Amino acid sequence: MDTHLPAYSPKAVKRAWLALAGALGLLAIGTTNGLFVAPPEHYMGDVYRILYIHVPTAWNAMLALTFAFFSALAFLWKNDWAWDARLEAFVETGVLLSLLLCVQGSIWAKPTWGVWWDWDPRLTTTAVMLVAFVGILALRHFVDDPRRRAVWSAVATIVAYASVPIVYFSVQWWNSLHQLQSSPKTVDAVMVTPLRINAFGMLLLLLAFSSLRSQLARRRLARELAPPPAAASLALGGEG
């Protein structure tokens, strides 16, 4: 199968650094707003302020894994190495954000619910997602041949992502305690503004990290696929 060779793009790296600076700026504004401007919540007091980082993390973790899913589909469809690099980047950032999400959730749950963990649909689904995608990172780590690594991790990503809604649904049936989602209509504007700023800040952070990571993956792919075409096809023929 003929595939495009990935190219390292210094332009994309520059853009990623700009996005990172923007992300840090937005997060600084949003977090300062959330910590000092927004009023304490009626029932939870100041504890609720973690939501200004928790909710954006949750949104962006889901987003990162969704991007990973579409990268996997695009790789199988287009056979373009750039999608493999993106898949690797989005799975990694998605795993990182899911881990952060679980940690933040525990920090919030202890003073609010009195426990570190609860078998609530969203918590359990996040934890399952986390281990499922850590498994995919492990798979990528254990396969040396770039072609197989790309195809197999794309397959595993598609199956893992397809199972996320069933996991959520089944755990919801099984047990539920987490509060329902709030909508902007139920929350005052003073509280919504820092949340929105931080959500975009996290999004920029996600895109910046993913872009840097995918450039790194491209460099590695370029190195792995480096041997001249004749030798490469020989090696493929020997293994396949």
Partner 1 sequence: MNQVIAALRKELLLGWRGRAQAMAVIVFGSTLLLLLSFAVGPNATALRQLSGGFLWVSLLFASTLSLAESFRQEREQRALEGLLLLGAHPAALFYGKALANWLQLFVVGAALVPVMIVLYDPGLSGIGRLLGVLALGTAALSAPGTLHAGLAAQVRAQQVLLPLLLFPLMVPVLIASVRASSLLLLGDPMGQAASWALLLVACNGIFWPLCGLLFGYVIEE
Residues forming contacts to partner 1 in the complex (CB under 8 A) are: 76, 124, 128-129, 131-132, 134-136, 138-139, 142-143, 145, 147-148, 151-152, 154-156, 158-160, 162-163, 166-167, 169-171, 173-174, 240
Give me the phi and psi of 114, to 5 degrees please.
Answer: 85, 0
What is the DSSP secondary-structure string of 43-103? TTBGGGGGHHHHHHHHHHHHHHHHHHHHHHHHHHHH-BHHHHHHHHHHHHHHHHHHHHHHH
Identity at 218, one-letter amino acid code: R
Residue with smaller CB distance to partner 1, 125 or 215: 125
CB of 222 to partner 1, least distance (A): 21
Residues 15 and 186: beta-carbon distance below 8 Å: no
CB of 150 to partner 1, least distance (A): 10
Residue with smaller CB distance to partner 1, 48 or 90: 90
CB of 123 to partner 1, least distance (A): 13
Residue with smaller CB distance to partner 1, 14 or 78: 78
Residue with smaller CB distance to partner 1, 121 or 194: 121
Other C-beta atoms closer than 10 Å to the C-beta of 131 total: 11
Partners of 113 in the beta sheet? none
Residue with smaller CB distance to partner 1, 171 or 203: 171
Closest CA to 61 of 21, 18, 22, 104: 104
CB of 138 to partner 1, least distance (A): 6
CB of 159 to partner 1, least distance (A): 6
